[in-house]
Structure 1
Amino acid sequence: MAFAGNHHNLQTLESYKLCVRCNKCCKKHNEISYSYKEIIHNCSEDILLIKRKGSNSLWRPVAPLPDFPRPFKYVVCWYFTEESGCTQHGRKCTYARSSEEAALWNVMKDENLIIPKLVKMIKQNQRTLQSKSQEKRGQFDCTLCQVHIPNVEDLMNHCFTVKHRRLIFEDTSQTWKYRDPPPTYKDQKLCERSLLCEYGDNCTKAHSQEELREWQKRIKASRKRARDVDEMGLLSYQDSLLDEYRHSNDKKMIVSDTLPDVFITCDP
């Protein structure tokens, strides 16, 4: 992970693995022990996890640096237990809960890092490592479907398969109560005849405020998943264009039958 810091801090970071997760994709075993699973969902990325490289131990959570005090060096709390937390100061304890958290806190203090900035660095580093690994092997990985793709053309075709697209656009992390949102997201409205609507389930308008709110939540989650997958280079051109079209205020700027001063002719 690249940053303008001293050599000792760089060595410290290179000794650990870092990742960001949320309550949906990670499991809390006790106060400072987590594991995670790879799922496609609207990840809030609000849990920073750390573990030492080569270790079989579970991941440790990292909290933001305490506002006060700021010691010369952070150390692990003497009174902390994994089952009960700090038995002396409880939630007010400003000591680290694990050696991993203490190590990262010291780097964050020295480098003036906050967790959002660190998360951004982690993502950039993961993309760089993945890209270098793919170039070295001469193949590409679809981390969603857990398959290897031999070349760019096959990767593009794979990204438009039903299985791949289902992992992106079908949120299996929770059960929805109402109908699927309409294809044209910008036209979300309440139906004026919701109780007597002749279109029934085929109506493209919401039949209640609750359904409308769920649609808005699902659309927001879908966009977040699509953006995350797009950053990974695993969103097909067709889906990228469709997502842009759905959310554009001026759809003619995305797709149009004609363009000014552009004429197409076909020779017989």
Structure 2
Amino acid sequence: MNIFKSIKRNLIKRSVIQSILEKEQHNNDVINIHRIDKKNIGDFYCAPHHYFDVLKGKSLDIFDYKSEDKEVRNHFINEISERSLIIGGGGLLNRDGFVMQMKMFEKLTTKGKKIVLWGVGHNEKSPKTYGKVSKYNIDINKFGLVGTRDYNMPGEYVPCVSCMHPIFDQKFEVKNEVGVVFHKDTLKKESITKKYQNFATSSNTTNLEDLIAFIGSSDNIITDSYHTMYWAMLMEKKVIAIPNSSKFYDFKHQPIISTFDEALHHLNEGTTYDGLLAECRESNLKFAEKAFNYLNL
């Protein structure tokens, strides 16, 4: 049964992409495409439509192309064909789940489509790639404007736009020496969660307000969530990151890299970065000005 579902899903995906590539393309207004997953707040909040009035209400889930609902698929086809596109943020590059869509966007650039890549980055799962990624799986030179969250990679460096959220202007009282934030997949691994049963813990499945308050109340953050790592650094916390993808290795300011077995040995070793929040916001504001000029918004 699963094999037949997989075959059907692949046929749907290919059909949607082919339909888009065959349609006449326009640049009427704009749509911001990213992974809209409310159960992963990093994916949810990493897109500029949350932070700029000109983009409010203009979003589309990059996974809608494989929906079993024909209306959702048709909406995806029409929005992409009619609008200019902002792709990002998130780990949309060098990741199997996004290859078909990203290759499609690359092809659309040859048909006059205006496309901005904003805060996207590589996201390879194989540990042998960690710290060694040197190229993307698309040609970013074909896109109209490119900002990537990977400091050592091609394109203008633009860290995740979630730094624009006003929640980071709050101040919190530190109550815990250590706060552990699990990625949603790690919550299923009892061998890991048990190691930290005596510590304050949270996960990237909670709401943003609670997670930021949790980070704010902790002096050291141990996490295998990319956005928790990023947000904790914005909040000037000492961060120990447990990589689950190549994306942890290309941020401008590196945290302590460790494992769940060794993380506690690195408490208080992390560097805090005064002014990082302002730096990241300035990068995004400058990029926004260029993007909106390019898209005639």
Return the TM-score normalized by structure 2. Answer: 0.24
Rg comparison, structure with higher value:
1
Return the TM-score normalized by structure 1. Answer: 0.26
Q: Select the structure with the greater relative contact order (CA < 8 A; seq sep ≥ 6).
A: 2
From the two aligned structures, give the one with the greater helix fraction.
2
From the two aligned structures, give the one with the greater strand fraction.
2
